[in-house]
Structure 1
Amino acid sequence: MSKKNVLITGGARGIGAATAKKLANEGYKVIINYVNSTEVANELVNEINFNGGEAVAIQADIRDDAQLEAMFNEIEENHGGIDILVSNANMNFVPKPFVEQTWEEFSQKLNDEMHAAYACSKLATKSMIKKKFGRLVFISSTLSEDPLPSFIAHGTAKGALDSFNKYLAQELGAYGITSNVIAPGLVLTDATSGAPEEFIEFIKSITPTGKVANPDDIANAVSLFVKDESSHITGTYLPVCGGAYLS
């Protein structure tokens, strides 16, 4: 049986890179999307291939429809289309309290987040519907359900993503496509490397497991959702935060 193709947006670093390694090790063909991290992405591809996996890297800014369509056309023509989408690309935002934030700052994050998820899903599901199989996995955040000061743009955008996920699960289930959300708490990556040590210690203190997640913790959750055996799990919101957020 041929390998299933996994597209990981924002796949060169952090959670994306850990997921690429995990899924390649489990026998999937990994397509690593990146914007600027050319050298890092190529190093990751070489590492995966050297270790017996199969990976390629494709540069595209998923906020740009033309680049996005070109990437999916390349995947369709050269690799046989997408079976699994891991929507992971990080969208920058302005961390400010509501009373200080402008609509432009707020809406930029909301628009970037939802455009990326919507446009990638739209193109990926064309291939999935033909195959009568598909897995959509969206990387959200516990901040969509558990607010922190100055994260209103981020948390609201992720909340919209969580709702979008439910609608996709409802509409696409008949095609053999599942859609699920993984909501990490704090994860130690390049993106969070500037977090103050006292903040990290605070998160540990309110986390039942007593630790902060690393990218492998999130990759393990992605692995659960993309398996053939997970065909009856859809529309879910899975916090991966050591119990720091308990609904």
Structure 2
Amino acid sequence: MLNNKVAIVTGASRGIGAATACLLAQHHAKVVVNYFSNAAAAQQVVEDIKKNGGKAIAIQADARNEEQMSSLVRDTLKHFGHIDILVSNASISFPMTSFLDISWDELDRKVSDELKAAFVSTKVVLPHMIQQNKGKLIFISSGLSNFAQAGFVAHGIAKGALNSFVRYIAHEMGPYQITANVVSPGMVATDATLHTPAEAKNQTAQMTPLGRIAQPEDIAKSVVMYASSYSDFITGAYVPVSGGMEMN
């Protein structure tokens, strides 16, 4: 499905990013496993990919840092020759608190860093995609951008801003046959929800039409679809991958 395609996955050392990197490789893409600090985890993802016959390299870079991301792009081109897919997945921490308790600086930091990670990652790959007149941009958002939940004000607002960012990228990049789409998970069983009480997870599962919360692989499958030629005429889409939680 993705023969000879080259994919960069930011924040790919664990969770959704790691699952996505592995699944892209299973579909024969060459994968750059980007990580911020956990080199051992990123290298393990690379080893898992290689063990299954795939091709991958791990590259450290802060998705918010243009100099580091430009270096990542240069290394990608050196190793693989071109760039076809960007999965913008880098996780930005945020305070779990209410609007009444959050400070402007805390909210500003989350929103700014969320957008900057997407902005910088997109900015550095676009010249190469424009030159080849094709490319796939996939951004990981959250259902909390549409449905408010206690404690997630910073995360929800930041992901809502990301959703708008993607629509503008899709509009501007369309003439170059570059698509930009949002994959929006509901609750996923990752490190981020490791300390979520079992009762809360069970309650979410019971409210979900498919009767469970997502595994990282569920999100990865949707990313692979948007990375493939099956989505060539889809751009600017917001796709909830939540087991039906976001049905209108």
Q: TM-score range by the shorter chain?
A: over 0.9
Partner residue, 1:229: 230
Tell me the distance in 2 between the aligned counterparts of 1:20 and 1:100: 37
Per-residue deviation, 1:2:
6.5
Per-residue deviation, 1:78:
3.0
Q: What whole-Å deviation, never above 9, does each CA across 1:80-114 have from its counterpart, x for those lacking one?
A: 23210000011000111111111000000001000
Partner residue, 1:246: 247
Q: How does 1:86-235 map to 2 (within 5 A)?
A: 86-235=87-236
Q: Is the CA contact 2:189–2:216 (under 8 Å) kept in the aligned structure 1?
A: yes
Tell me the distance in 1 between the aligned counterparts of 2:211 and 2:3: 41
2:217 partner SS: helix
Partner residue, 1:32: 33
Partner residue, 1:84: 85
Tell me the distance in 2 between the aligned counterparts of 1:46 and 1:153: 35
Kindly provide the amino acid, as one letter, of the partner of residue 164 in structure 1.
Answer: F
Tell me the distance in 1 between the aligned counterparts of 2:169 and 2:86: 13
Tell me the distance in 2 between the aligned counterparts of 1:47 and 1:229: 26
Q: Is the CA contact 2:64–2:121 (under 8 Å) kept in the aligned structure 1?
A: no
**Percent identity between the aligned chains?**
43
CA distance 1:207–1:2, shift in 2 (3 Å): closer
Q: Is the CA contact 2:7–2:87 (under 8 Å) kept in the aligned structure 1?
A: yes
Q: Is the CA contact 2:98–2:150 (under 8 Å) kept in the aligned structure 1?
A: yes
Kindly provide the amino acid, as one letter, of the partner of residue 68 in structure 2.
Answer: Q
2:179 partner SS: strand
Structure 2 gap ranges (5+):
none
Tell me the distance in 2 between the aligned counterparts of 1:77 and 1:23: 20
1:238 partner SS: strand
Kindly provide the amino acid, as one letter, of the partner of residue 62 in structure 1.
Answer: A
Partner residue, 1:54: 55
Tell me the distance in 2 between the aligned counterparts of 1:61 and 1:5: 20
Per-residue deviation, 1:77:
2.9
Tell me the distance in 2 between the aligned counterparts of 1:226 and 1:43: 23
Tell me the distance in 1 between the aligned counterparts of 2:145 and 2:213: 18
1:179 partner SS: strand
Tell me the distance in 2 between the aligned counterparts of 1:229 and 1:215: 21
Structure 1 gap ranges (5+):
none
Tell me the distance in 2 between the aligned counterparts of 1:78 and 1:19: 20
1:45 partner SS: helix
Q: Is the CA contact 2:3–2:27 (under 8 Å) kept in the aligned structure 1?
A: no
Regions of 4+ moved over 4 Å: none
Per-residue deviation, 1:76:
2.4
Tell me the distance in 2 between the aligned counterparts of 1:144 and 1:42: 32
Q: Which is further off, 65-74 or 2-11?
A: 65-74
Tell me the distance in 2 between the aligned counterparts of 1:64 and 1:19: 22
Per-residue deviation, 1:246:
1.5
Figure out how many residues of one structure are paired with residues of the other and give that number: 247
What's the TM-score, normalizing by structure 1?
0.97
Tell me the distance in 2 between the aligned counterparts of 1:164 and 1:18: 25
Q: What whole-Å deviation, never above 9, does each CA across 1:16-39 have from its counterpart, x for those lacking one?
A: 111111110101001000011111
Q: Which is further off, 75-84 or 52-61?
A: 75-84
1:146 partner SS: coil
Tell me the distance in 1 between the aligned counterparts of 2:128 and 2:24: 20
Q: How does 1:9-24 map to 2 (within 5 A)?
A: 9-24=10-25
Q: Is the CA contact 1:72–1:81 (under 8 Å) kept in the aligned structure 2?
A: no
Q: Is the CA contact 1:142–1:183 (under 8 Å) kept in the aligned structure 2?
A: yes
